Amino acid sequence: MIERLVELWQRWHYRERSLPRIIVRAGLVVPGWALRLSLAILTAGCLWLAANPRWSTVFVLILAAILCLGLMIWPDYHLALVVIVVSAMMVFIGGEEIGGLSLLGLATLGYLLFRLSLAASLLKWSSRIQLKALLRAPDLLIICLTGLLQLARLLPAPDDLWPTLLGTIGVIVLALLSWLVVQAWRATN
């Protein structure tokens, strides 16, 4: 009798049941393959901005292809730092042909490359990440401020006004960053 009750209990308890349906709303997401593709595009952009027009196009294309494939296969921030250092060395070796606007663009692309490689190193090809996790406030502030510097550089102005203008913008940027640091410190204490 007890064996029969145990058998009925086990049959009822371990029966085939459908699991409850769970719906998770995550907002806007970015697939892992798109993040890796953006790393390749940013790598090509960094190397294109840093390349000297006198250099062989084949050399720059081969270097870009190797680094782009490397970042797509192995999206680690160490390789992103290699891309940034190679771009800086290309600018250093290239001489005086590169302008201040290209250097600001290179700094922006290098920063985006580093931040996205940090996120991509945690994801697989089929994984997804929320867009909100990628767009953090300090990152947006740095990108917007370098974008403002690039726009300010495009404006027509006398040559002797540029140091004053860029110095003023730099002081404003430093004041904003220090205000953000103080606000973050107050929030933690």
- pTM recorded for the entire structure: 0.64
Percent of the chain with pLDDT over 70: 78
On the question of pLDDT at 154 being above 80, the answer is no
pLDDT at res. 66:
85
Neighbours of 72 (CB within 10 A): 17
* pLDDT tens string 40-85: 888 888 888 887 777 777 777 888 888 888 888 888 888 888 888 8
**Cβ atoms < 10 Å from Cβ of 149:** 19
| Among 153, 67, 73, residue whose Cα is nearest residue 110 | 67
Mean pLDDT value of segment 27-43: 85
Q: What is the 3-state secondary structure (H, E, C) of 65-116?
A: HHHHHHHHHCCCHHHHHHHHHHHHHHHHHHCCCCCHHHHHHHHHHHHHHHHH
| pLDDT greater at residue 113 or residue 177 | 113
Per-residue model confidence as pLDDT tens digits over 99-120: 666 777 788 888 888 888 888 8
Decide if pLDDT at 157 tops 70: no
More confident residue, 158 or 59: 59
C-alpha dihedral over 127, 133, 139, 141, to 10 degrees? 140
Distance CA 128, CA 29 (A): 6
Rounded to whole angstroms, the Cα distance separating 63 from 57 reads 10
Confirm if 49 and 95 have CB atoms less than 8 A apart.
Answer: no
